[in-house]
Structure 1
């Protein structure tokens, strides 16, 4: 790592420590860090947690913790998905796009053209015999209920 990047890493870590967002840890684990220059000159720290996540199962731990902490708000205006917390703005419209094949149904929740979440499942044996229209409606009902 270049000396300028090392100084930037120390500065950003000190800022996060001072804000109480992280705490010192003397674990034998580390993660790769790189910096991406932003368009206005500052540096964005990019951390690759994949290897550490394999050792600690951090996404599941985070998701469980957030589900516990935010339990009373879940499905009202908060959604916890793996390592993301989504706070929807109900002033803007959502779109639900659904589709069905001979074997599965799926749906995508979009906001301003950007995907928010994805849902899919296999069709049951009896559902596989539905007409195309019935499969499409099964996808709509399933996605809106989920």
Structure 2
């Protein structure tokens, strides 16, 4: 692989620690969510960070495929929900649900765009066959 960009982040203290990028731009206190036995509070967690990265990356992939198809996405958005759960062996697993809103688009075109974006998005390719990913096209109903 030819590296185009590298992001380097160090976390001290795991889910209850601090995560800092090597350039200092990312500097966040982490907290265990209350539902996992933590204190919660005004801090982020790995699942939120993963959802943020995935939604931004998928949005860029969607923009690229839409541009190639000469389709205007309008004021689209991508919402990613990352779930942390246990499988039947009581091991922790992740799943992702991507809700992609594209205004003023027909269902067939929208589905084609999000399926193609799912093929080219690096996050989608990294998670393929590793976690369950659900794609939902959200459109305006007339």
- Return the structure number with greater relative CO, CA threshold 8 A, min gap 6: 2
| TM-score bucket (shorter structure) | under 0.3
TM-score by length of 2: 0.25
